[in-house]
Amino acid sequence: MSMSEPFKDYIAPSSPPVVHNARGWNAERIIGTTWLFLWIVMGVGLLWFMLVSNNVALHVSWQEQFPYFAHVELSSDAHFINKYASKLLKGFFLTLQLVGLSLIIGAMISLPVAAMRMSNIPVLSQVAYVYVYFFRGTPLLAQTFLIYYGSGSFMHFFKDIGVWWFFRDAWNCAVLAFSLNTGAYQAEILRGAIRSIPKGQWEAADALGLSRIVTFFKIILPQALIVSLRPYGNEIILMIKGSAIASIITILDLMGETRRAFSRTFDFQAYLWAAFAYLIMVEFLRRVWELFEKRLTRHLKR
């Protein structure tokens, strides 16, 4: 009798374990599927709405023999698109122009403001603080109104000093308001980034006998820009979204053209096209910025 004999009776051969491959229907899965389903229904519904409002129709003539359909034709009567596509496209480019111009001018404003904000002279830092606090603490809409409508209060004065032509034009006012706004935000981004650079960097450059200006532009700023990359990207996105406000002071940017098209046709697809365009713009920028960030910080990867 071998050692293993007695156990033979007790251990019954078991059937192989049942593997549960299928996931159960728990609450999370039900909610997730329902929600996703709702998104899909909404997407299909919007697509359907677009097709219907452009009178898209499928004409099929049937026949007896094999391919069964003799002739398939897709017809559409896209009044809205025919009439407004070029205008919306024009508005789209105007939005890009508005955002680009404001961001560049804002960047130019932000440098001296950030420098003033970090200056040791109390008056300078206080002035910069008030500027930044004002433009970050009030709505962009109020700032735009303040500049565009508010300049009317100083019409005579502005005419006297010969700058009325500037404030009379809604485009100039919008660019000015947006630039001042983004300038304040960018100054804060820049200041935060510069302050995040350790003091040792300044001291080491000083020990090497570099001048303060060279130190700033060659050593501090490149490092600060890496830190500020993400907030800068967010600021650009905020500016793209904020630029829709320009439409309220009669500028025909993407939102302005959309609003005009809607007020003439009461066709809701105007807003859908605009939503699509803004989403594409923001998503595109976000993705590009991610790649950009990855590339610029590749030496920091561990």
Any contact of residue 29 with another protein (CB under 8 A)?
A: yes
Closest distance of CB 237 from another protein, Å: 8
The yes or no reply on residue 256 touching another protein (CB under 8 A) is no
| Residue 282 found at the interface with another protein (CB under 8 A) | yes
- Give the interface segment with another protein, choosing from 9-17, 82-90, 121-129, 139-147 (CB under 8 A): 139-147
Q: How many CB atoms lie within 10 A of CB 235?
A: 21
Please enumerate in sequence order all residues whose Cβ is within 8 A of that of 190, keeping only pairs 6 or more positions apart, or say none.
110, 111, 114, 224, 228
CB of 10 to another protein, least distance (A): 36
Question: What mask, x for binding another protein by CB under 8 A, covers residues 231 to 250?
Answer: ---------xxxxxx-xx--
Q: Which ranges of 119-228 does DSSP label H, i.e. alpha helix?
A: 122-137, 140-148, 155-161, 164-168, 170-196, 199-207, 212-214, 221-227
Q: Which of 143, 96, 82 is nearest to 254 (CA)?
A: 96
Q: CA gyration radius for the chain?
A: 31
Distance between CA atoms of 89 and 56, rounded to whole angstroms? 22
Contact region with another protein (CB under 8 A), list: 28-36, 54-62, 66-74, 171-179 = 28-36
Stretch that binds another protein, among 21-29, 183-191, 211-219, 220-228 (CB under 8 A): 21-29
Give the one residue of 67, 137, 200, 209 binding another protein; rule: CB under 8 A: 137
The footprint of another protein on residues 147-166 (CB under 8 A) is: 149-154
Quote the tokens at residue 154: 């100083």
Count CA within 13 A, CB hemisphere, residue 137.
6
**Region of 4-12, 30-38, 66-74, 85-93 interacting with another protein (CB under 8 A):** 30-38
CA distance 220 to 206: 12
Report the alpha-carbon distance of residue 132 to residue 182 in Å, rounded: 10
The site for another protein (CB under 8 A) is made up of 26, 28-29, 31-33, 35-36, 38-39, 133-134, 137-143, 145-146, 149-154, 240-245, 247-248, 255, 259, 262, 268, 271, 274-275, 278-279, 282-283
